[in-house]
Amino acid sequence: MKRANHVAISFLLPGLLLTAGCRGAVGDPPEKVDVSFSILGADTRTTVTSGEGNVDRWTLLLYREGELIDVGTSGSDSPIQCSLKAGSYTAYAIANPPSSFRPEAYSSLSTFSRAESDLRDNSPFYLVMFGSRTISVSNQNDHSQSIGVNRLVSKVGIRKISIDFTDPTLQSRTFRLKAIYLTNCYGKNHLEKDGEASEMNADASSWYNRMGFHSNTGVNALLADRGINTMITALSPYKKEHHFYCYPNWADQDSRSSEWSIRHTRLVLEAEIDGKTYFYPITLPAMQRNKTYIIEEAIIRKLGSNDPEKDEPGSIDVVYETSVSDWDPAFTVQENS
């Protein structure tokens, strides 16, 4: 496969000759149809991070009768050009794929289910996305196909933090918001679809920010905003919106044990009150890819916990959006035949 004005990545697969042009299997008859595969951008409604729909590169995998017959890579969101026999194909598109992704490892549709990404493959400006569709190529001179893709991450946000101490003795205390971050974040997700609770690995290497914030190269920008250092009062709530990006946590049970075990992801507010650190953890539900989980307002009522994994009953009230929302599609599907 090739893309005009960009360098194509070539792969050598058994029974396939893949170069800068989309050639298909060796020995195919010459009767081919020119097909242009695209992913088309769409604006998102986010007001914080403008790069949620950016594409740095994308990879196309084409299957016919369940077998991989061609792959191609574009160095941006530009089309990938192919020459194909008439017939039915399954097309997979991966935007901003992991650097470790090797299409040749997935020679059949049945093997693609094991393809996965680590959270560190994402950045706030280049999120990994996946989409697929079945297409029919007919004997026409020109043919265009577009594949819609969705992000593998879930989006967690908070819009407002207010102070309303119920204890009058706390009302004169200085409340300083130090940081907001996600904890207990599962580090893996399948490219094709989200997994199930039974698939989750409890091994520490499969998780980020286990039971508290830990600096992790490559994911800090996704999971945490540190150094906020802003004073909040009853008359001056904090209204700066923050968004975070994590892979879905499929855990069907939560735990507060001091010993590590699989548990739910939490959004943690870290604060300093009269020089002492307190935590306000907000436990999130089991999540899905390309969904948004937005907290409209968090209201601080009393002193928080000394541990980011522990709840201090009555310390915080949380107002969520009325429902979990579909994230604006990163890309739309269009077809011109």
pLDDT for position 40:
66
pLDDT for position 177:
98
Classify residue 275 as exposed, middle or buried by CB count within 10 Å of its CB (0-12, 13-18, 19+).
exposed
- Note the pTM of the prediction, 2 decimals: 0.85
pLDDT value at 18 more than 70: no
Domain with CATH 2.60.40.2580 in the chain: 12-152
Return d(Cα 108, Cα 110) in angstroms, integer.
5
Return d(Cα 16, Cα 233) in angstroms, integer.
66
Over residues 125-168, the pLDDT tens digits come to: 999 999 999 999 987 666 899 999 999 999 999 999 999 998 98
Cα–Cα separations (whole angstroms), residue 73 to 56, 204, 332? 11, 34, 19
pLDDT value at 122 more than 60: yes
Over residues 205-215, the pLDDT tens digits come to: 999 999 999 99
Residue type, 229: N
CATH 2.60.40.2580 for the 12-152 domain, yes or no: yes
Domain with CATH 2.60.40.3690 in the chain: 154-326
CATH 3.40.50.300 for the 154-326 domain, yes or no: no
Over residues 298-313, the pLDDT tens digits come to: 999 999 999 999 999 9
Over residues 281-297, the pLDDT tens digits come to: 999 999 999 999 999 99
Q: Which of 217, 197, 215, 57 is nearest to 128 (CA)?
A: 57
Residues β-bridged to residue 283: 266
pLDDT for position 100:
82
Name the 3-class secondary structure at 79.
Answer: coil
